[in-house]
Copies of this chain bind each other. A is one copy, B any other.
Amino acid sequence: MKLHTYYRSSASYRVRIALNLKGLAAEPAYVHLSKDGGQQFGAGFDAVNPQHLLPVLEDDGFVLTQSLAIIEYLDETRPGVPLLPADPRGRARVRALSQAIAADIHPINNLRVLKYLGGTLGIDEDRRNAWYRHWVSLGLEALERQLAASPETGTFCHGGAPTMADCCLVPQLFNARRFDCDLRRYPTLMAIDARCAQLAAFDAARPELQPDAD
């Protein structure tokens, strides 16, 4: 397997955690999102993913985009600990928590969006940071309420073992810290984050530990 990745890509970070949790290795193919005007726009990566987004998994000729699709694919095709619960309601809940991050927080704050705000729309850095914090706090506040209110929440987002939802939560909180978001308002999220940080699978996936970190 080959994983097209960038150390600071939040969606790549999700997949790195998932690979580690399943005890899988993938050969990294580094795509630097700022160098050379953005290597994701180069001809090489354009042929792999015309979306110009990371991550991409290549598995024996099969080219797969989208971090959540990749995580579910790994879960369905590889042995090891499951990343989704066995029951349909549990699976649905984990998917919904994952999508609340991967669809409703992250894409609005992605690098390309911040660039459009700054470049095309001329929004200054202070207001770009306010934009970032607005969407993160909206999303995390709702997530905090959902997790705090549910008996299904355990030591992790769903029960007593990490799932795809934790693979999404930890990178989102990492990003939020980069932008100085105040995370003290989310005690449930922070407690889960702290438990994940104890696990080697999450620790080894951290952006600053990746070989392409600069």
Footprint of B on A, CB under 8 Å?
49-53, 62, 64-66, 68-70, 72-73, 76-77, 88-89, 91-93, 95-96, 99-100, 102-104, 106-108, 113, 116, 120-121, 123, 127, 130-131, 134, 139, 141-142, 145-146
Q: Is the CB of A66 within 8 A of B95?
A: yes
Q: Which of B51, B99, B121, B142 contacts A69 (CB 8 A)?
A: B99
Contacts A69-B96, A92-B69 given: A50-B104 contact, CB under 8 Å? Answer: no
6 pairs, CB–CB < 8 Å, chain A vs chain B = A50-B142, A62-B89, A66-B95, A66-B100, A73-B95, A107-B107
Nearest-Cβ distance from residue A21 to partner chain B, whole angstroms: 18
Identical copies in the complex: 2
Give Cα distance in the complex from A68 to B69, angstroms.
Answer: 11
Find chain B residues with CB under 8 A from A139 CB: 51
What separation, in Å, do the CA atoms of A131 and B131 have in the docked complex?
A: 15
Contact A103:B103 (CB < 8 A) given known A76-B91, A95-B66: yes
Find chain B residues with CB under 8 A from A77 CB: 88
The answer to whether B127 touches A96 (Cβ under 8 A) is no
Q: What is the bound-complex CA distance between A65 and B134, given in angstroms?
A: 21
Closest residue of chain B to A95 (Cβ to Cβ) is: B69
Q: Which secondary structure dominates chain A's binding surface?
A: helix
State whether A51 touches B104 (Cβ < 8 A): yes
Partner of A116, one of B92, B134, B141: B134
Contacts of A108 in B (CB 8 A): 107-108, 113
Contact status A99-B92, CB under 8 Å: no
Q: Which residues of B contact A62 (CB under 8 A)?
A: 89, 92
Which of chain B's residues has its CB closest to A112's CB? B138
Question: What B residues does A121 contact at CB under 8 A?
Answer: 121, 123, 127, 131
Whether the pair B50, A72 counts as a contact (CB closer than 8 A) is no
Complex alpha-carbon distance, A51 and B101, angstroms: 11
Given contacts A51-B142, A66-B100, 4 further A-B contacts (CB under 8 A): A49-B142, A72-B95, A73-B89, A107-B108
